[in-house]
């Protein structure tokens, strides 16, 4: 065997071993989901000054958190949130990347049992809504 070719053969051999080791550790997908999707069609049904606390509970279920203000008696803020992240892992955390993200937040301010204001925000990959609807069915 040629002595000059020996380092190339060793490099090739070590490369094959490294690539095989990475391939054997595998690829994995992880989903991180907090809360449940907030239907925009239900948010559109909220009417400030008319919608009641019990209607909100029947539309969205119990809130993620409830915030009260001691300086504003009778006023409470219901917070709903949904977060979806999908990660792809290669090997033992060699590559971790979030491939799909979606965040939804709904804040509803209620005074004496009636909605006085609300806000709804969505960030991330909004096309995920269709995908999540299909997975649910």
The residue ranges of every structural domain in the chain are: 26-136
Q: Between 127 and 49, whose confidence is greater?
A: 49
Strands 65-68 and 75-90, sheet pairing:
antiparallel
Beta carbons within 10 angstroms of residue 84's beta carbon = 21
Say if residues 109 and 117 touch (Cβ distance below 8 Å).
yes
List the structure tokens of 108: 């509803």
Provide mean pLDDT across the span 47-66: 95
Q: pTM of the entire structure?
A: 0.67
List the structure tokens of 115: 């909605």
Q: Between 114 and 29, whose confidence is greater?
A: 114
What are the helix (H) ranges across the chain?
Answer: 6-25, 40-43, 53-60, 128-136
List the structure tokens of 82: 């949904």
Residue 69: its pLDDT value, please? 86
HSE (side-chain half, CA atoms, 13 Å) at 107: 9
């Amino acid at each position: 065997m040629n002595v000059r070719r020996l380092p190339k053969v060793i490099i090739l051999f070590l490369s094959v071993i490294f690539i095989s080791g990475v391939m054997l550790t595998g690829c994995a997908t992880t989903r991180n989901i907090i809360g449940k999707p907030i239907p925009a069609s239900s948010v559109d049904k909220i009417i400030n000054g008319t919608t009641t606390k019990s209607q909100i509970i029947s539309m969205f279920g119990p809130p993620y958190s409830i915030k009260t203000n001691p300086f504003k008696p009778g006023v409470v803020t219901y917070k709903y949130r949904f977060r979806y992240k999908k990660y792809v892992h290669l090997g033992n955390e060699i590559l971790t990347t979030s491939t799909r993200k979606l965040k939804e937040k709904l804040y509803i301010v209620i005074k004496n049992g009636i909605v006085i204001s609300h806000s709804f925000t969505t960030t991330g990959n909004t096309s995920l809504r269709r995908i999540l609807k299909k997975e649910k069915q």
